[in-house]
Amino acid sequence: MINKDFFQALEDLEAEKGIKKEYFLEALTNALTSAYKKNYEQGRKIEVKLNPEKNTIRIFAYRDIVEEVEDPENQISLQDAKLIKKTAKLGDQLSEEFSPKDFGRIAAGAAKQVITQKLREEERSLAYGELEGKVDTLTTGIIRRTESDIIYIELAGTTIEGVLLPQDQVPGESYNINDRTRVYIKKLRETAHGVQALVSRAHPNFVKKLFELEVPEIQAGIIEIKSVSRDAGKRTKIAIYSKDENVDALGACVGQKGVRVNSIVSSLNGEKIDIVIYTEDIFEYIARALSPAKVISVEIDEAAKKAMVIVPDDKLSLAIGKNGINVKLAAKLTGWKIDVKSESKANASATVTTTNLDDIGDLFGDINLD
């Protein structure tokens, strides 16, 4: 059975897709073997041999040479075997080549199915390899289309489509066709149309990665980002820590005349950022997390991981924030449930032992970009 076009198609795939034809041959051999058995002799021992050099597909059936035949499909007597091959001996295996008249059509169908499947698998594998190392990083892309509030982005340097779902979009931002935008790659997913990258502009790690790009000390591992909490489009709180006492974490992140943090704020279209200096002292950390509000005292319930914070009467609304955003972000940043109470209300209730933080506000070095 000779099919030059068939093998030429494999050569073309190798040239166009970079997929070596050997990748298909084993799968094709198995598929053609199954196709033959399904359409002809199911119980027969057969072998399909593909020879790309000679452009041939050959089918061989095998029978064991025995004295007494019990299974005619897979056994043959020595006498009959010698009629086919004079040198046949008992115990040998006799091979016979077959070429069914209409097997070419069956083979073509099986080959097409295998090639399509293997092509998809290889393209999927290449796509994963293309972006696998870029998950949890920032990249840029061009907005190509929108469908039902879903934004589709052509990611720079890849053939993979980025998908910006509604929950990953920032309220108030506009997404126009052919606009260039920066996104955070959350993860890859397989779909009926191939591999897609789920991307985000609303994820807290979007801000984290902007700081990593903008602040060399973070890239070098001198300054560590401990936590990030975010209400996309409104406010972000980020806790940082310097591993080197000689390096000012706050100054490094703000930059000379605010150049670094202002660049990040610009990338976020004006979103407010509170930079908090991390400390293992949970009383102090919770107080700092409520920046820009000044805190009088903090009492904690370690078992329930709850904190009660007392603030001056005139700072209560600042500590809570509009729609509770400040205290909610502080709670996410620290991992503690935080309740805020005004000083006058606290004085009217039962007195409890607290850690006084009257002067901490002057020592924080935290920054609030309102």
Model pLDDT, residue 369: 46
360 with 236, same domain?
yes
Considering its fold, how many domains does the chain have in total? 3
Cβ neighbors of 86 (< 8 A, separation 6 or more) are none
Question: Number of H helices and number of E strands within the chain?
Answer: 13, 17
Average pLDDT over residues 247-275: 96
Task: Give the residue with greater pLDDT, 165 vs 28.
Answer: 165
Please enumerate, as own/partner, the contacts of 87-96 that have beta carbons within 8 Å and a separation of 24 or more. 89/65, 90/65, 90/66, 91/64, 91/65, 92/64, 92/65, 93/62, 93/63, 93/64, 93/65, 94/62, 94/63, 94/64, 94/65, 95/60, 95/61, 95/62, 96/60, 96/61, 96/62, 96/63
Task: Give the residue with greater pLDDT, 278 vs 134.
Answer: 278
243 with 331, same domain?
yes
The secondary structure of residue 170, as a DSSP letter, is P
55 with 191, same domain?
no
Tell me the pLDDT tens digit for each residue of 22-56: 777 777 787 777 777 777 666 678 787 877 778 77
pLDDT at 357 exceeding the cut of 70: no
pLDDT confidence of 104, banded at 50, 70, 90? low
Supply the range of the domain harboring residue 183. 137-201
169 with 191, same domain?
yes
* End residue of a domain, out of 72, 105, 128: 128
pLDDT at 360 exceeding the cut of 80: no
- The amino acid that residue 345 corresponds to is K
Query: Which tokens hold the place of 53?
Result: 């050099």
154 with 263, same domain?
no
| CA dist list (Å): 367 to 71, 252, 361 | 87, 12, 11
pLDDT at 11 exceeding the cut of 60: yes
141 with 228, same domain?
no
Model pLDDT, residue 24: 75
**Is the C-alpha dihedral spanning 338, 276, 370, 208 positive or negative?**
negative
Average pLDDT over residues 161-174: 95
157 with 211, same domain?
no
Model pLDDT, residue 224: 98
Tell me the pLDDT tens digit for each residue of 68-86: 999 888 899 999 999 999 9
197 with 220, same domain?
no
Most confident of 11-20, 334-343, 353-362: 334-343
CA 85 remoteness from chain centre: 61
pLDDT at 147 exceeding the cut of 60: yes
Task: Give the residue with greater pLDDT, 51 vs 294.
Answer: 294
**Is the C-alpha dihedral spanning 247, 248, 254, 258 positive or negative?**
negative
* End residue of a domain, out of 171, 201, 231: 201
